[in-house]
């Protein structure tokens, strides 16, 4: 009897723990679905039955008349933001209350690979953001451009060899290889040769970084439900070693000193050489109300984490954006014809040589790229965690510190309230004469505010160069196995991960 009583007490205790926050939205009068114990409203995501964008899209339209919708990620309350004015408050006007992303439940013991400007919050994020921003200036882009041109030529060569064979090409894999090689050359000073070597170890490393199978789902779920108990479980233990070894090897090649490459690794080496990074804290204040001093050491592990960020953020987002653009052009030959004409006209002006200025002049291509990211944004969500009690005055809703808010980009980008005929692929939407500036805060492929994408300009530039390299010489068409609307894979979390975009590439006869 005593054993049975203890068992019942244990079960009741677990139930109460797993449902402890489930009155939060009800008490605040926010519409939401009924959560399940422990899993909240994301049980289908955790069991790989649906992708996160699909589940959030259902909530978005189920409560179509609401400005916000509540839901529960495990036991934690989160708030889906649908109103542009409220989005602006979160990202810009009151960003000091939402400077944290809150992507990880366990914040006290961050895994080494998560100590980067994507995942880290608070002082770590601020010190890193301040130091890494110089790596992505316009001047740096121009300096990288000759390397980008060389890689675009290799991209052309790979496509040409495949067209000779007359086979379909996976556009996503193609652009992933191009982007990985670009990261290696421009960021790390390494020749990855993923465009030339079918089984390049670096393309495999990039794919493994995005792997999120049953094992990873289990670890992630346990850490979300019981963050304190399972804080030492690692998602990327083997990868952690591989990237750390890679960073150490690059440092050895440079004799642990910044080289003259002036690349991402050089920037990290400079800060490592300078010693402790120091700045004002955004987490702690002294008794007088002034910010305390925050410090951070640029050691090998922290360098490895930034390289991991550079790989993940650069390879998957840029490759998805550029391959989705090719996919849409394949299904819209009339738009593709306009892009071809613009590329031909601008390149003729520059003696048929690709240059930084030539890319800047290809406005219709730029609109096309933006429209592709409207329809299928590579990063599906903007997450922010509330750092103090905050009131949305428009709807008289107060949320507490620690509540995470999110903007669902695939859904809001395709909401007919903001974009007329949203399923129509229409680059002219982004003609400044046509673009509705009221839509500024519902079109956010790179985010906005202090935590916007630090590599946005590099991502756009490398994608546009890759597109020009292909479209200057080839026509793209759907292949026999092409699917008009590619599905997001259920394990996708930070990015909208898709499996394959097969297309036919036909050499142009100009």
Question: How many CB atoms sit inside 10 A of residue 119's CB?
Answer: 21
Instruction: Please indicate if the annotation marks 453 as binding a ligand.
Output: yes
Q: Is the pLDDT at 466 greater than 80, yes or no?
A: yes
What was the pLDDT predicted at 346? 98
Cα 487 from Cα 3, distance rounded (Å): 49
Whether the CB-CB separation of 496 and 212 falls below 8 Å is answered with: no
Whether the CB-CB separation of 366 and 338 falls below 8 Å is answered with: no
What was the pLDDT predicted at 335? 98
Per-residue H/E/C for 342-396: HHHHHHHHCCCCCCHHHHHHCHHHHHHHHHHHHHCCCCCEEEEECCCCEEECCCC
What was the pLDDT predicted at 62? 97
What was the pLDDT predicted at 500? 85
Whether the CB-CB separation of 383 and 81 falls below 8 Å is answered with: no
Q: Which residues lie across from 391 on neighbouring strands?
A: 398
> What mean pLDDT comes out for the span 106-125?
84
Burial of residue 293, with CB atoms counted within 10 A of its CB: 0-12 exposed, 13-18 middle, 19 or more buried? exposed
> What mean pLDDT comes out for the span 405-419?
96
Residues making up the chain, counted from first to last: 510
Q: Is the pLDDT at 9 greater than 90, yes or no?
A: no
**Residue recorded with tokens 């090689």:** 181
DSSP for residue 254 = T
Cα 491–207–266 angle (5° rounding)? 125
Those residues with Cβ within 8 angstroms of residue 497's Cβ, 6 or more apart along the chain or in another chain: 210, 212, 316, 320, 488, 489, 491
Question: How many CB atoms sit inside 10 A of residue 404's CB?
Answer: 20
What was the pLDDT predicted at 202? 81
Q: Is the pLDDT at 391 greater than 90, yes or no?
A: yes
Cα 115 from Cα 304, distance rounded (Å): 9
Q: Is the pLDDT at 482 greater than 80, yes or no?
A: yes
Q: At what angle do helices 264-274 and 300-331 cross, to 10 degrees?
A: 160
Cα 60 from Cα 57, distance rounded (Å): 5
Whether the CB-CB separation of 401 and 389 falls below 8 Å is answered with: yes
Cα Rg, the chain, nearest whole Å: 24
Percent of residues, the chain, with pLDDT higher than 90: 64
Break the chain down into helix, strand, coil percent, rounded to 5: 50, 10, 35
What was the pLDDT predicted at 3? 79
**Residue recorded with tokens 């440079």:** 254
Number of H helices, E strands in the chain: 18, 11
Spatial strand order of the sheet with 68-73 comes to 68-73, 76-81, 404-408, 381-385
Cα 408 from Cα 56, distance rounded (Å): 7
Whether the CB-CB separation of 178 and 149 falls below 8 Å is answered with: no
> What mean pLDDT comes out for the span 392-402?
97
Mean pLDDT highest for which of 138-142, 240-244, 480-484?
480-484
Q: Give the count of alpha carbons within 13 A of 148, CB side only.
A: 24
What was the pLDDT predicted at 510? 59
Cα 358 from Cα 390, distance rounded (Å): 46
More reliable by pLDDT, 12 or 224: 12
H or E stretch at 464: helix 456-471
Q: Which residues lie across from 36 on neighbouring strands?
A: 40
More reliable by pLDDT, 82 or 186: 82
> What mean pLDDT comes out for the span 222-243?
74
More reliable by pLDDT, 334 or 214: 334
Q: Is the pLDDT at 108 greater than 70, yes or no?
A: no
Cα 399 from Cα 382, distance rounded (Å): 18
Cα 354 from Cα 367, distance rounded (Å): 19
Percent of residues, the chain, with pLDDT higher than 70: 95
Q: Dump pLDDT digits (tens) for 51-74.
A: 899 999 999 999 999 999 999 998
Q: How confident is the model at residue 490 (pLDDT cuts 50, 70, 90)?
A: confident
Q: Dump pLDDT digits (tens) for 336-364.
A: 999 999 999 999 999 999 999 999 999 99
pTM of whole model > 0.85?
yes
Q: How confident is the model at residue 140 (pLDDT cuts 50, 70, 90)?
A: confident
**Residue recorded with tokens 């996919």:** 327
Whether the CB-CB separation of 187 and 263 falls below 8 Å is answered with: yes
Task: Indicate the Cα dihedral angle 264, 270, 272, 277, nearest 10°.
Answer: -100
């Amino acid at each position: 009897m005593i054993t049975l009583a203890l068992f019942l007490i244990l079960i009741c205790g677990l139930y109460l723990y797993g449902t402890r926050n489930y009155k939060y939205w009800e008490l605040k009068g926010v519409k939401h679905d009924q959560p399940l114990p422990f899993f909240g409203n994301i049980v289908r995501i955790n069991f790989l039955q649906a992708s996160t964008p699909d589940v959030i899209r259902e909530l978005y339209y189920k409560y179509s008349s609401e400005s916000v919708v509540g839901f529960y990620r495990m036991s934690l309350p989160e708030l889906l933001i649908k109103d542009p004015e409220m989005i602006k408050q979160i990202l810009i006007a009151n960003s000091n209350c939402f400077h944290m992303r809150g992507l990880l439940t366990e914040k006290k013991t961050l895994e080494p690979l998560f100590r980067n400007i994507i995942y880290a919050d608070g002082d770590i994020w601020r010190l890193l953001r301040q130091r890494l921003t110089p790596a992505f200036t316009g001047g740096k882009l121009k300096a990288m451009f000759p390397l980008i041109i060389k890689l675009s030529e290799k991209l052309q060569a790979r496509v040409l060899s495949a067209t000779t064979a007359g086979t379909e090409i996976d556009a996503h894999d193609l652009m992933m290889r191009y982007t990985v090689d670009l990261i290696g050359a421009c960021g790390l000073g390494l020749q990855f040769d993923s465009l030339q070597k079918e089984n390049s170890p670096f393309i495999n490393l990039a794919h493994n970084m995005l792997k999120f199978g049953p094992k990873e789902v289990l670890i992630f779920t346990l850490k979300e439900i019981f963050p304190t108990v399972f804080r030492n479980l690692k998602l990327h233990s083997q990868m952690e070693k591989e990237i750390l070894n890679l960073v150490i090897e690059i440092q050895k090649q440079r004799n642990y000193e910044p080289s003259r490459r002036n690349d991402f690794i050089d920037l990290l080496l400079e800060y490592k050489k300078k010693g402790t990074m120091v700045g004002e804290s955004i987490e702690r204040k002294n008794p007088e109300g002034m910010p305390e001093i925050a410090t951070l050491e640029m050691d090998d592990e922290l360098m490895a984490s930034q390289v991991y960020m550079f790989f993940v953020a650069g390879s998957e987002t840029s490759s998805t954006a550029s391959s989705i653009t090719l996919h849409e052009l394949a299904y819209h030959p009339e738009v593709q014809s306009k892009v071809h004409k613009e590329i031909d006209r601008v390149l003729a002006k520059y003696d048929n040589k690709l240059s930084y200025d030539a890319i800047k002049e290809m406005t219709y291509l730029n609109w096309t790229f933006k429209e592709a990211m409207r329809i299928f944004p590579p990063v599906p969500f903007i997450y922010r965690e509330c750092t103090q009690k905050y009131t949305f005055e428009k709807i008289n809703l107060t949320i507490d510190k620690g509540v995470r808010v999110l903007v669902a980009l695939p859904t809001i980008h395709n909401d007919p309230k903001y974009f007329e005929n949203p399923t129509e692929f229409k680059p002219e939407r982004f003609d400044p004469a046509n673009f509705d500036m009221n839509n500024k805060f519902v079109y956010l492929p790179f985010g906005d505010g202090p935590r916007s994408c630090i590599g946005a300009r590099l991502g756009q530039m490398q994608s546009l160069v890759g597109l020009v390299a292909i479209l200057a010489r080839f026509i793209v068409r759907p292949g026999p196995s092409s699917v008009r609307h590619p599905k997001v894979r259920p394990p996708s979390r930070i990015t909208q991960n898709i499996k394959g975009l097969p297309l036919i590439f036909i050499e142009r006869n100009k």
